[in-house]
Amino acid sequence: MSTDLTLAREPEPGPAVSRRSLLEARDVHRSFGQTPALRGAQLAVGGGEILAVMGPSGSGKSTLLHCLAGIYTPDQGEIRFDGQRIDELSDARRTELRRTAFGFVFQFGQLIPELTVSDNIAMPLLLGDVRRKEAYRRADAWLDRLGLGGLGGRRTGELSGGQAQRVAIARALVPQPKVLFADEPTGSLDSLTSETVMDLLVSTARAEGTTVVVVTHDARVAACAERTVMVRDGKVSALTEYEVAG
Ligand SMILES: Nc1ncnc2c1ncn2[C@@H]1O[C@H](COP(=O)(O)OP(=O)(O)OP(=O)(O)O)[C@@H](O)[C@H]1O
């Protein structure tokens, strides 16, 4: 395997993407009214890769993540997952894809505070028709893995920020998604907690073979990733393109 480290170049639409990438944005444009958020964004993410997306505020990072995850559809350009155009799928099929193949961790707000840690982690499995006993067995297996042993019965509204983010990671990974999308997953945490949470996110995703796309302002968070791309003015403007030889 060889990696082509091409820094600080303008991406060309089309051929730059890897043949073996799992997730691709090809010349993606997306505006909100008169505000252009993405202006020809180009990115390829390899299967199992841990990728950080950095860039100034308002540059289009979150919009890119939402397009890659099939939450937004581009005005122009293509999003491909496992070779398939997901921007062309119906809303229902994209929702199904997000539920079955993608996991999400946001800065905060994705947990149900009135429910327990185990309930929150089991929730995506229960919604996916896994039987109750099996869902809780699998959820509880994640507690120790993420240093949450003994907290299964605690309401998530009573947790610290770092504990809550570890629950969010477990909740996102328990259905074994192909890709984990994380938007500022440590944005509300102090730097020490942030490091612990990021280490856990990366090590568990790696152990599961899950591809990770993490948007962050924090260089220390990005340092946990295998590769960092920069988004500027709606383009992936300095990138190290993923490539597999042969
Ligand atoms: N839902 C929306 N409605 C209107 N404008 C939006 C919306 N989402 C994003 N934008 C605009 O699109 C541009 C890119 O926003 P985006 O949130 O993708 O940037 P970002 O790099 O993630 O920013 P930040 O680091 O501050 O979160 C900004 O000008 C923003 O104001």
CATH number at residue 158: 3.40.50.300
Q: How far is the CA of 74 from the centre of ligand 1 (A)?
A: 14
Position 109 scores a pLDDT of 72
Give a yes or no: residue 14 inside a domain. Answer: no
- For residue 69, which of 48, 40, 45 has the smallest C-alpha distance? 45
Give a yes or no: residue 29 inside a domain. Answer: yes
Give a yes or no: residue 217 inside a domain. Answer: yes
Quick one: residue 82, left, alpha or beta (phi over 0 = left, psi -120 to 50 = alpha)? Answer: left
Probe residue for ligand 1, chosen from 62, 108, 215 as the CB with the greatest number of ligand atoms within 8 Å: 62
Q: Is the CB of 63 under 6 A from ligand 1?
A: yes
Per-residue pLDDT of the chain (246 residues; tens, 9 = 90+): 333 333 333 444 433 444 479 999 999 999 999 999 999 999 999 999 999 999 999 999 999 999 999 999 999 999 999 999 999 999 999 999 999 999 999 987 789 999 999 999 999 999 988 999 999 999 999 998 888 989 999 999 999 999 999 999 999 999 999 999 999 999 888 888 888 889 999 999 999 999 999 999 999 889 999 999 999 999 997 544 444 332
Position 239 scores a pLDDT of 47
Dihedral over alpha carbons 119, 213, 36, 28 (to 10 degrees): -120
Which stretches of 61-146 are assigned E, i.e. beta strand?
A: 76-81, 84-85, 102-105
Position 16 scores a pLDDT of 42
Q: How far is the CA of 60 from the centre of ligand 1 (A)?
A: 6
Q: What tokens appear for 63 in the block?
A: 């919009």
Position 238 scores a pLDDT of 58
Structural domain count of the chain:
1
Position 8 scores a pLDDT of 35
Position 15 scores a pLDDT of 37
Give a yes or no: residue 3 inside a domain. Answer: no
Q: How far is the CA of 27 from the centre of ligand 1 (A)?
A: 18
Domain extent, residue 231, equals 21-238
Q: Whose CA is nearest to atom 25 of ligand 1?
A: 57
Give a yes or no: residue 9 inside a domain. Answer: no
Q: Is the CB of 216 under 6 A from ligand 1?
A: no
Q: Whose CA is nearest to atom 16 of ligand 1?
A: 60
Give a yes or no: residue 1 inside a domain. Answer: no
